[in-house]
Amino acid sequence: MEFLQPATWAEALEAKAASRDAVPVAGGTDVMVAVNFGRLRPSLLLDLTRVPELQQWDTEDGVVRLGAGVPYARVITELGDRLPGLAMAARTIGSPQIRNRGTVGGNLATASPAGDAHPALLAADAEVEVASVRGTRRIPVTGFYTGVKRSALADDELIAAIRIRPPSGPQQYSKIGTRNAMVIAVAAFGLALHPDRRAVGTGIGSAAPTPRRAPEAEEFLAGELDGLWDSRGELPASTATRFGELVSAAAAPIDDVRGTARYRVHALSVMARRTLTWAWADYRKEATTCA
């Protein structure tokens, strides 16, 4: 196994172009597990942890550009206010050790249906900035997941950053696991309310071959909220329930060792209903604090 440690982004892209089967490694919390289980025997490991650009985040035109190599621990401590949904998702990931190493870029490239960043990124309409020696392109995250553990990333490309517009409204993230920490999602749900656009964002995890949104649920809720954004009035319980049903209807789960398809569907409807209730309560509270 060869090991390359580029010091600059340009070198990293060169190396990936030169050896397309090179396996990038950021936190290593997916890569090294696969190596350990004998599922992966890369001929070349491309260590990205020395590339300074990947370890940084900044704000461009009001959009947060999160370097692909920023670990979850920093997302939580440094970006909890700007990217609340992603930070909430990050808090549910692994253990402190994993959050110190694991990155959003790694989660995206693995593209597991159970990856916890995905529902939050979907709900927030994030964009994935990818690059190669050929140039840079931005992929809306909705188009990023192409199959079970497959993504739109070409074999000479690396993920540079994730671009997320800070929210104009509350965000929530909720995840089911069969223990209370350090657990892979049985089902997960991300919600973002976008009062500026009068829109709703959703993300479903672990309940379909890829992470996905629940477009009908989004449209339904946006419609129901139409008159409520300004009044910040109470949300009818029936709206939250219907929203939950529509979210779960968007899922296409399977039975596996972690849970049954029926449970996943049920759990999604509950999570969607509850997170909406919390988010709306926050939205109403904001009004009170502003006033």
Partner 1 sequence: MSAPTRTPSGAPAHLTGPGSGRVGDDAARPDGVLKVRGEFAYGSDLWMDDMLWGVTLRSPHPYARIRSVDVGPALAVPGVHAVLTSDDVPGSKTYGLELADQPVLAVDVVRYQGEPVALVAADHPETARRAAARIVVDYEVWEPVTDAREALGHPTWNQVHETEAPVTELSRESAHLHPQGNLVRHLKVRKGDPHATADVVVTGEYEVGMQDQAFLGPESGLAVPAEDGGVELHVATQWLHVDQRQVCAALGLPPERVRLTLAGVGGAFGGREDLSMHVHACLLALRTGKPVKMSYNREESFFGHVHRHPATMRYEHGATRDGDLVYVRAQIHLDGGAYASSTPAVVGNAGTMGIGPYVVPNVHVDCYGAYTNNPPCGAMRGFGSVQTAFAYEAQMDALAAELGMDPVELRCRNAMEQGSPTPTGQVVDSPAPVAELLRRLAAMPLPEPPGTLDLREVPGGVSNTTHGEGVRRGVGYAVAYKNVAFSEGFDDHSTARVRLEVVGGEPTVTVHTAAAEVGQGLVTVEQQIARTELGVDRVVIHPKDTDVGSAGSTSASRQTYVTGGAVKAACEAVRARVLERAAGLTGRPVGDLRLFDGTVVAEGLELPLAEVLGDDAVEETLEWRHRPTQALDPETGQGFAHVQYAFSAHRAVVDVDTELGLLKVVEMACTQDVGKAINPQAVVGQIQGGTAQGLGLAVMEEVLVRDGRVQNPSFTDYLIPTVLDVPPMRIEVLEYADPHAPYGLRGVGEAPNISSGPAVLAAIRQATGLPLTRVPVRPEHITGT
Ligand X SMILES: Cc1cc2nc3c(=O)[nH]c(=O)nc-3n(C[C@H](O)[C@H](O)[C@H](O)COP(=O)(O)OP(=O)(O)OC[C@H]3O[C@@H](n4cnc5c(N)ncnc54)[C@H](O)[C@@H]3O)c2cc1C
Minimum distance of ligand X from residue 197's CB (angstroms): 27
Going edge to edge, which strands form the sheet with 158-164? 57-60, 63-67, 158-164, 127-132, 135-140
Minimum distance of ligand X from residue 272's CB (angstroms): 19
Return d(Cα 71, Cα 99) in angstroms, integer.
6
In the set 84, 102, 167, 203, which binds ligand X (CB under 6 A)?
102
**Which one of partner 1, ligand X, none interacts with residue 94, CB within 5 to 8 A by kind?**
ligand X
Decide whether 148 or 181 has the Cβ nearer to partner 1: 181
Q: Is 106 in the site for ligand X (CB under 6 A)?
A: yes
Interaction mask 23-62, ligand X, x per CB under 6 A: xxxxxxxxx-x--------------x--------------
Q: Is 73 in the site for ligand X (CB under 6 A)?
A: no
From the number of C-beta atoms within 10 Å of its C-beta (0-12, 13-18, 19+), residue 78 rates as middle
Minimum distance of partner 1 from residue 176's CB (angstroms): 6
Return d(Cα 89, Cα 91) in angstroms, integer.
5
Q: Is 248 in the site for ligand X (CB under 6 A)?
A: no
Return d(Cα 57, Cα 235) in angstroms, integer.
36
Which residues have C-beta within 8 Å of that of residue 95, sequence separation ≥ 6? 181, 182
Q: Are 220 and 243 in contact (CB under 8 A)?
A: yes
Query: Which residues are near ligand X by CB under 6 A?
Result: 23-31, 33, 48, 68, 93-94, 98, 101-103, 105-107, 109-110, 115-116, 158-159, 184
